[in-house]
Structure 1
Amino acid sequence: METMFRISNCSVENQIKFSTCTLLGNTLTWWNSHVKTVGNDIAYEMTWTKLKKKITNKYCPRTEIKKLKVKLWELKVKGNDVIGYNQRFQELALLCGRMFPKESDKIEKYVGGLPDMIHGSVVASKPKTMQEEMETAIEVMDKRICTFVDR
């Protein structure tokens, strides 16, 4: 949503209107009920940060976030599927954002889930960003697979 705010040059004053018009299903019902309870003026004066917190509290209870954190800590590459690992890692890392105060913390956790056969090569390349780390892991795995197939 924040990306959409930037792309569309959405002003801070219009962020709540913009974001709530994208709600669907139960979340839309929840929002409409909230507007009816507090009134239009008060509902739309809310900040994006406050709305995000309300939605998170309603739809992402702490118990569920804890389960996701456990999944993230236990996440490993299955077979040679680095791309699948990257996708799941990114999903979980977004949902558990507070686990990684610094980018280097996220990179360290990511590398810990890589298989031994590429771990050392990826670490040795010393990527500076998470994106570089993931791209390097894919490249190294592809080279390992190609080398193995060529034999």
Structure 2
Amino acid sequence: MKKTKIKAVCTAAVLLLFFAFTISVLFVLMLLTQSYRSAAVSSELSYSERTCISYISEKLRHGDSEGAVYVGKFDGVNALFIDTVFGDVPYSSIIYFYNGWLCELFCEKGADFRLADGTRIIETKAVSFSEPQPSLFYIEATNLSGKTDKLHIFLRSGGEI
């Protein structure tokens, strides 16, 4: 009888330790899951905050040649135009804001396209372009969280510093 009681107490102690360990593991997993979610949300916000302005600045720097970059109207909307020539055919890369998205349309210069024809690049609240003087561009982008980033960029167009 004594052996049975001791065996039962030992079994109960082992089961109790097992359940305590299992509950501890589940608790740690829940904490790690919450931590991962926070990091993922933070990373997503950081991505959307920086990507819009970074994308536009890289497109401007890449298209920097004399007279190739300018602000104008595309289908009634303020847009940034970056002109290039392939072979003998002139093309335009048009960057604009439409229906909550930064969009880009690459087409033959002067072709008849609409705002909906462009490729969606990144979701954002607002984007505006201005060119207060030749080769000086002001870009403002408001991300989904409401933070507005500004870019003032002067294109050298191959000139010297």
TM-score scaled to structure 2, two decimals?
0.22
The structure with more helix, counted as a fraction of residues: 1
TM-score scaled to structure 1, two decimals?
0.23
The structure with more strand, counted as a fraction of residues: 2
